[in-house]
Amino acid sequence: MINSSTYKYLNAQETPFYYYDMDLLKTSLATIKEEAARYNYHIHYAIKANANPKILSLIQAYGFGADCVSGNEIKRSIDNKFPSNQIVYAGVGKSDKEIEMALEANIFCFNCESIPEIEVINEIAKSKNKVAKIALRINPNVNANTHHYITTGIAENKFGINPWEFDQILELLTELDNIQLVGLHFHIGSQIVDLSVFKSLCLRINEIQNWFLEHQIIVDHINVGGGFGINYHKPDEEPIPDFRNYFAIFNEFLNLKAKQQVHFELGRSIVGQCGSLISRVLYVKNGINTNFAILDAGMTELLRPALYQAFHKIENLSSTDEHENYDVVGPICESSDCFGKAVSLPKTKRNDLIAIRSAGAYGEVMASNYNLRQTAKSFFSDDIQI
């Protein structure tokens, strides 16, 4: 993935830092745009996956909208030129202040997650003489077969409105003058690699649409959320997820009514593979079963392994020696600060440059200053002068 001049450039920087392959991001965006255009699908980029302004500007330039989960994400999207009429806003805990600013910005749609939230949005919209466009975020009770921390669409989750609340909601909507129902929204989890899960989602959406149809309601759009996974084990073999087959599933199984639009909220599948966390080996320390390679990057730069035992491919960019096993760990004072156990790497020594791959999504955005760590910088392939 990295040629010798790029290596030289990276090796001259102070570690740790994020490195983004902007060519890969461009190719991914062009692919998504082309594949989505076959069916006239609308794409909103899930800002929470990576909110780096340089990455946002590029994504925005391809004409995608934004999917936000906080007021500051709405602000960041607008600052980076995402048109406000292409911004959707989800989240179980929208504060009054956030709702106010979203109304002021005239966003496309609030994805509402509870009855009390709809009532509060109505109240605030009324005070501003506005009508809020909303979609109901429905919990379809479809299991995403992914890590339980990133499953969001089964009955026990905090997300979304459950079908047994539909009657009450319809009654409520007839009473609220400052709410306009424009869509149905679903998002069942993240890192979903089994495409049959999306087929199950479509079939469930069809049933739910039928219920609304029986109650004389046809919404303008169906938002199927995001969640499409990436190949963490083989990032170079599958740098771009199979968007053609992904969109084809929805085209095949989702029953649409006349003029109904389909919206997607893609995060990880857009930015996941373009980013790597680059770090340096501080020490190699002998352990009982394997040796420890102690890096200068830790859970403060990339939290996913500590947070949900996520796998990231680890590469030694400086060595081509024979392989040995290492527990690759960070410097933070937590035992969970570990990027991988018994990782096979070429013989590793102090100052070797290490790449932790597929870190473009939920990497930089989750960084913290725990242990009073410095915030890591980011570098972009198109800034490198060769």
Ligand X SMILES: *Cc1c(COP(=O)(O)O)cnc(C)c1O
What residues act catalytically? Answer: 333
Residue 301 within binding range of ligand X, rule CB under 6 A: no
Whose tokens are 């170079």? That residue is: 236
- Cα(10)–Cα(14) distance, rounded to whole angstroms? 8
309: closest CA among 145, 147, 143, 146? 147
Residue 73 within binding range of ligand X, rule CB under 6 A: no
55: closest CA among 93, 91, 29? 29
Residue 160 within binding range of ligand X, rule CB under 6 A: no
Exactly one of 51, 90, 102, 303 binds ligand X (CB under 6 A); that residue is: 90
Least CB distance from residue 230 to ligand X, whole Å? Answer: 9
Q: Does residue 207 have a known ligand-binding role?
A: no
Q: Does residue 268 have a known ligand-binding role?
A: yes
Backbone angles phi, psi at 189, to 5 degrees: 150, -175
Exactly one of 35, 67, 113, 117 binds ligand X (CB under 6 A); that residue is: 67
Q: What DSSP element (H or E) covers 80?
A: none
Q: Give the DSSP letter string of 278-298.
A: EEEEEEEE--SSSEEEEES--
The total of other beta-carbon atoms located within 10 Å of residue 73's CB is 21
**Which segment (96-104, 259-267, 280-288, 315-323) binds ligand X by CB under 6 A?**
259-267
Contact 304, 310 (CB under 8 A): yes
Q: Does residue 41 have a known ligand-binding role?
A: no
52: closest CA among 18, 27, 28? 18
Least CB distance from residue 90 to ligand X, whole Å? Answer: 4
Q: Which of residues 124-143 bind ligand X (CB under 6 A)?
A: none
Q: Does residue 322 have a known ligand-binding role?
A: no
Helix (H, G, I), strand (E, B) or coil at 23: helix
Least CB distance from residue 129 to ligand X, whole Å? Answer: 28
Q: Which of residues 358-377 bind ligand X (CB under 6 A)?
A: 361
- Binding residue positions: 227, 265-268, 304, 308, 334, 362
* Contacts with ligand X, residue ranges (CB under 6 A): 46, 48-49, 67, 69, 90, 187, 190, 225-228, 265-269, 361
- Binding residue positions for pyridoxal 5'-phosphate: 227, 265-268, 362
